[in-house]
Amino acid sequence: MKIAIFGDIHGNIEALKAVYNGATALKPDKIYHLGDLGGYAPYVNEVVEFLVKHDIEGVQGNYDDAVANDREHCGCKAEEPLQEEMAHLSFTWTKNRVSLESKAYMKELPIDIKFTAEGKKVLLFHATPKKNNLYWYEDRPEKFFHEMAQKGDADIMIYGHIHKPYRKDIGGKIFINAGSVGKPKDGDLRACATIVDITKAEVQTEFIRVPYDVEKVVAAISASGLPDYFAEKLRRGA
């Protein structure tokens, strides 16, 4: 079974269209998204419409929960005061622009999706099986991976939230961070999607990077009233 995974789209419809074309060319059996559909770029409603139209199932991110339920804070962690301020502006902007239909869609997203492929248990979620806004970086101690594996009870775990793709094989389990479609933070500004090919014998992972018109989204961010701060980050993949 070959699946394509779209992590953290964050209101970037141009990046979503690009990875959709890139991923479908590889003929996956199924496409999933990992939530965090709005914020930072203006196309939150267009992203939801695209996912519905193309029948792409997915899970709820911390941002979706916060937007859909009108929470005070997006649940994202800021490293410095400017980032906190900008994140809050973006969150407020998104809450003001999101349609009732998009909110209903986000509210109903499941917290995880579980299925079996070629005898292997696969679990998809946004951040961790324990908490939906923990940052599960690649350099977390092995103990953390073991703990999450126990909590998740799956052979293959696929998640996002940190916007930096990786795969780690620990203790017979496979941990895949699918990266971010719409707001990569690994220095590569191209949109990221992850292809996981599961056969009886092995599990292959490919992170595909697809170029798209970043400047078009940069201009749209400026025109929308969202902070230019995020346009600059998009340009740098930061």
Task: Residue 144: count other Cβ atoms within 10 Å of its Cβ.
Answer: 15
Residue (148 or 203) nearer to Fe ion, CB: 148
Contact characters 186-205, Fe ion, x per CB under 5 A:
--------------------
Binding to Fe ion in span 54-93, by CB under 5 A: 61-62
Q: How far apart are CA 51 and CA 229, in angstroms?
A: 27
Residue (62 or 194) nearer to Fe ion, CB: 62
Question: Shortest gap between Cβ of 120 and Fe ion (angstroms)?
Answer: 26
Q: Which residue has the tokens 């346009």?
A: 231
| Residue 188, Cβ density class (10 Å: 0-12 exposed, 13-18 middle, ≥19 buried) | middle
Residue choice 10, 95, 97, 161 for contact with Fe ion (CB under 5 A): 161
**Contact range with Fe ion by CB under 5 A, out of 32-40, 65-73, 94-102, 190-198:** 32-40
Q: How far apart are CA 116 and CA 54, in angstroms?
A: 23
Q: How many residues sit close enough to Fe ion to count as binding (CB under 5 A)?
A: 4
Residue (20 or 136) nearer to Fe ion, CB: 136
For every residue of 121-148, DSSP letters joined together read EEEEESS-SS-TT----TTS-HHHHHHH
Residue (117 or 159) nearer to Fe ion, CB: 159
SS3 (DSSP) at 67: helix
Contact footprint for Fe ion (CB under 5 A)? 36, 61-62, 161
